[in-house]
Chains A and B, each alone.
Chain A
């Protein structure tokens, strides 16, 4: 087997997100970045395959330089090589413009057997980057995968569908997005986390990847935001106030009158 490439994303920690009340946009500086939780499954799957087959694991992330601690976290889990894809020209990308950068970086890393990603990010949540990247690389993709086994030069991939589970046989290379539902996630090794402190990593920008700026970032993104608006709510129904016991009695009565409670 050739190397495995894992793509991870730094996302704002849910409770730290602040929104500009006037412009309704994220105040990025206010947010603490964490590893996108579903990407833990991609890293864990990579490490299991590494344990069994001794392959090299390269981890990459596109984002501002402050995603570096997240890449180091991946090193703590056992990654061999870290790549930061960072450039002002990448900012404001939709999923297509994001996938162009990731796909191009992956091309420079050939040969590889497997690209692992999370099912979706918890901020943009589109789940689009893995299949879009695969399509740009002209590779097969499978989403929402529960397990991957490598045997006799082929991958056996178990995916969860809306109807059940399917077992697929696929020739490498391929792109997989992992379901977050894994049974076990290894903790990072403290020794490796210490090593990660002074670790070398590569940064690649638009020029390094020979990508023209007009297909990148906000400019290269065909999906545009026309605006945001607030859904204004007015009180629609009854407002009940009073002693909890009395309110609970009225509540029970209402459930009975409306036929929801038979006792």
Chain B
């Protein structure tokens, strides 16, 4: 097996995706323990632009490998995965990892199937047990984490967004061009005809300084909507648990957790939220956590810096009344 670990560097419109830099943090540690080279792999139509991206200057990896070709200007799943599978076959890496962005989720499974290897989804922690790389993700049940491993190489996984914090390296990684053979097939069955940028910000929840979140303990949509009033006073955003979104109390893009957004606010308020692990993996890095719950035994109460044992509706009504007067 070769001496490298590959990470996919999502490069879109001249910028590296922050999610690709995040995943370098755990991979760097693994690569040091196993004495392997960590390579960030970027596909682009212009090497110069990659060199100009300042956020790559201190990327935590040994080398940045760029595959440059005019056909790589647009993201096309079939072509991108053919290129990446080819690179994987050349390097025989120990592992090949992707951020769980929509591009990552589109590419990693195509490559895994092409190579006939396993792929772990939404991994939020990596750990070495001897030679074996253990990948962790929450699973069914309260606070249960599944440890997965792969029997095939390269070990492949998509890493959960927001699960790791970006760290800078001490040296500038070398940026190298990697050439594909003359006869490489650059064709694609896909043509990008038009693009529209989203008008709304990608997600304000994930960068909010204050998150006011609510769960089923709020009992009704009417109560849940009061969180928006409180969020206004605190200059924060409203977040929710999955059952609350499914019940239609709010839109799904407010969901915090493994199926939704990860948040890292200075203040997180949880009204009537039990703290199931699928939710807490998306908020456990909050600086200060306050839980409002009737149940002293709820996991979020245990995690909280301050736990208020009371009826969430009453507390919410009272503070809103006070704030309005």
Contact = CB atoms under 8 A, between A and B. Distances in A.
Interface string A160-172: 1111111111110
Interface stretch (B33-41, B55-63, B113-121): B113-121
A24 B141 contact: yes
A159 B202 CA distance: 15
A170 B78 CA distance: 11
Contacts of B292: 251
B270 interface: no
Contacts of A160: 102
Given A14-B243, A143-B105, A252-B322, A228 B77 contact: no
Interface string B287-320: 0111010001001011111111111001100110
A154 B142 CA distance: 47
A161 B102 contact: yes
A26 interface: yes
B234 A230 contact: no
Interface in A57-100: 94-96, 99
B189 interface: yes
A170 B190 contact: yes
- Interface size range of chain B in the complex: 35 or more
A26 B100 CA distance: 25
Contacts of A184: none
Nearest to A235: B302
A168 B315 CA distance: 50
Contacts of A122: 259
Contacts of A14: 243, 246
B77 A163 contact: no
Contact of B146 (A134, A161, A225, A242): A225
Contacts of A241: 309-310
A240 B148 contact: no
A194 interface: no
Nearest to A122: B259
Contact of B144 (A17, A125, A133, A229): A229
A39 interface: no
A234 interface: yes
- Interface size range of chain A in the complex: 35 or more
Nearest to B243: A14
B103 interface: yes
B308 A251 contact: yes
Nearest to B202: A162
A129 B108 CA distance: 11
Contact of A233 (B17, B134, B290, B302): B302
B148 A168 contact: no
B189 A236 contact: no
A162 B101 contact: yes
Contact of B195 (A24, A142, A164): A164
A248 to B, nearest CB: 4
B172 interface: no
Interface stretch (B21-29, B64-72, B149-157, B221-229): B149-157
Interface string A116-157: 000000111111111111111001111110000000000010
B110 interface: yes
Given A164-B197, A244-B314, 18 more contacts: A96-B118, A126-B122, A127-B121, A131-B109, A132-B110, A135-B112, A141-B78, A141-B106, A221-B118, A222-B117, A223-B148, A226-B134, A227-B147, A231-B144, A240-B307, A254-B306, A255-B234, A258-B288
Nearest 8 CB-CB pairings of A with B: A222-B118, A126-B121, A223-B118, A135-B113, A237-B305, A19-B141, A131-B109, A248-B318
